[in-house]
Chains A and B, each alone.
Chain A
Amino acid sequence: MVQLGSRLLRGYRGGHVVIRFALGGCTNRPFFRIVAAHSRRARDGKYLEQLGCLDPLPNAHGERVAGLNLERLRHWLGCGAQLSRPAEKLLGLAGFLPLHPMTVTGAERLRRRAQEAAAPPADGPAGPGDAP
């Protein structure tokens, strides 16, 4: 019985509060809970408070549903909690924080790759045709 309790009653050295995603759900069916927890805890382990949820799979209306308890989020951020990168990106998309620079960078990279994929096949057939 003490073995069960030891994981829950652990005292850690160092670490800080983070707001991050905890993965739940089943096989091929993820579901994230937005959670304030100690950074040293397991990803799906004991957390301080659940601040919201995110369903990454689109529903019948084609939307990905996310709930955010903004009041408690503001409280934890005021207490000095850090954010994980996916959490920052999600809050940027929501409009609560400014857009994450990596979101912008990712969009640019995607566009550049799409352009390169479109441009060389156009140059390809034209290239050998130009050569004598």
Chain B
Amino acid sequence: MAALGAWGSALVPARLSRVARALWGWRARRGLVQDAGTADEGKATKPSFEDETVQNLLYKMTGLNLQKVFRPVKKELKPPKYKLMTEAQLEEATRKAIEEAKEKLIMPPVLKEREPIDDVLAEDKFLEGTETTKYVFTDLTYSIPHRERFIVVREPNGVLRKATWEERDRMIQIFFPKEGRRVIPPVVFKDEHLGTVFRQDRHEDILNMCIAQFEPDSPDYIRVHHRTYDDIEKHAKYDLLRSTRHFGGMVWYLVNRKKTDGLLIDMIQRDLLDDATSLITLYHMLHPECQSAKEAKERKLQGVDLIKVFVKTESQKEGYIQLALQAYEEAMATSTAS
């Protein structure tokens, strides 16, 4: 809710780059995007999450189910409003709805885990024994970004050090509270309680809560996201995240770890062949040294042939995918025949 509120003020609902850069772009300027420093070698050898081509592929796979995106969110109860419209007005309203949906589907960034802060500013050993508890000083200047804020800790042994990331997040939430974020993270994010959430099929809700609570490069954020993706992959509940902003991140995670078989089967069973081909294209972009990538480049395969080559060389669950493909082709044959 909070993150969406901030995103509602975006200027033009462009699909990814402009709005995404306006929201998350300051992080790039502050050097948070990991490939900023190694831009040249990075683009040549390994595509990153933020690349245009990668984002396009992930966006295509996410799908755009308006019913699901604008599904009623629990708000205060108001009676529904009915409007009488002409065809042209209806088309205009649908077009605006699609643009708003695109804004809601902007993918949150995927970053590496942040390095722990370990910086001592002063050592005054003669202060040892004067105090029993530490002091945490926060700079409350309004105009500096939170990443550059000075938060220092004076320990009882006299050492003046920079605050750790957890202390920083807590202090910033105390003095500059953000909606949807708690000072102490809710207990639901602990591993033993995530299982309960997954059993209730509320993966999307927990991911939204996680985005509101944690910073994208914090270890808790990454851990919760990875657990969610692993659970979805184990139980093949891919449809829960389809047409949400988390789908791209999930696909990126699975492709990086080469666990794409379940997703491929799911796509073929739902007759989403384009998505399947984009998935395999993404796989080849990320793992160009694998055999199916080389074959695909040599013979310039498209569509079902690409999937067949991929299945033969790379996948573990070859049998299942062959079955699914067969079922799909039979369905296509009967539908064209009838």
| A binding-site residues for B, Cβ under 8 Å | 52, 58, 60-72, 93-95, 99, 103-104, 106-108, 110-111, 114
Q: B141–A69 contact, CB under 8 A? A: yes
**In the complex, A114→B129 CA distance in Å?**
10
Output the residue of B126, B136, B160 with the most chain A CB within 10 A. Answer: B136
Q: How far is the CB of B176 from chain A (nearest CB, A)?
A: 10
Q: What are the residues of chain A within 8 A of B121 when measuring CB–CB?
A: 95
Q: What are the residues of chain A within 8 A of B191 when measuring CB–CB?
A: none
Q: How far is the CB of A86 from chain B (nearest CB, A)?
A: 13
Q: A107-B129, A107-B130 are in contact. Are A66 and B135 (CB under 8 A)?
A: yes
Q: A65-B171, A70-B141 are in contact. Are A99 and B124 (CB under 8 A)?
A: yes
Is residue B70 contacting chain A, with contact meaning CB distance below 8 A?
no
Stretch at the interface among B20-28, B46-54, B80-88, B149-157: B149-157
**In the complex, A71→B150 CA distance in Å?**
12
Q: What are the residues of chain A within 8 A of B124 when measuring CB–CB?
A: 99
Is residue B14 contacting chain A, with contact meaning CB distance below 8 A?
no
Contact of A67 among B122, B134, B138, B153 (CB under 8 A): B138
Is residue B323 contacting chain A, with contact meaning CB distance below 8 A?
no
Q: A71–B141 contact, CB under 8 A? A: yes
Q: What are the residues of chain A within 8 A of B160 when measuring CB–CB?
A: 93, 95
Q: How far is the CB of B149 from chain A (nearest CB, A)?
A: 10
| B binding-site residues for A, Cβ under 8 Å | 121-122, 124, 126-130, 133-143, 150, 152-154, 160, 167, 170-171, 174-175, 184
**In the complex, A104→B127 CA distance in Å?**
7
Q: B140–A93 contact, CB under 8 A? A: no
Q: A67-B175, A70-B150, A111-B129 are in contact. Are A62 and B139 (CB under 8 A)?
A: no
The 7 closest A-B pairs by CB, nearest first: A94-B137, A71-B141, A58-B133, A69-B140, A67-B140, A63-B136, A67-B138
Given A70-B150, A107-B129, A110-B129, 11 more contacts at CB 8 Å? A61-B167, A61-B170, A63-B136, A63-B153, A67-B138, A67-B139, A94-B154, A95-B154, A107-B127, A108-B126, A114-B129
Q: What are the residues of chain B within 8 A of A94 when measuring CB–CB?
A: 135, 137, 152, 154
Q: What are the residues of chain B within 8 A of A71 when measuring CB–CB?
A: 141-143
Q: A68–B136 contact, CB under 8 A? A: no
Contact of A62 among B126, B133, B170 (CB under 8 A): B133
Residue of B nearest to A54 (CB): B135
Q: How far is the CB of A60 from chain B (nearest CB, A)?
A: 8
Q: B141–A63 contact, CB under 8 A? A: no
Q: What are the residues of chain A within 8 A of B126 when measuring CB–CB?
A: 104, 107-108, 111
**In the complex, A65→B106 CA distance in Å?**
37
Q: A106–B130 contact, CB under 8 A? A: yes
Q: How far is the CB of B59 from chain A (nearest CB, A)?
A: 42
Q: B139–A70 contact, CB under 8 A? A: yes
Q: What are the residues of chain B within 8 A of A99 when measuring CB–CB?
A: 124, 127
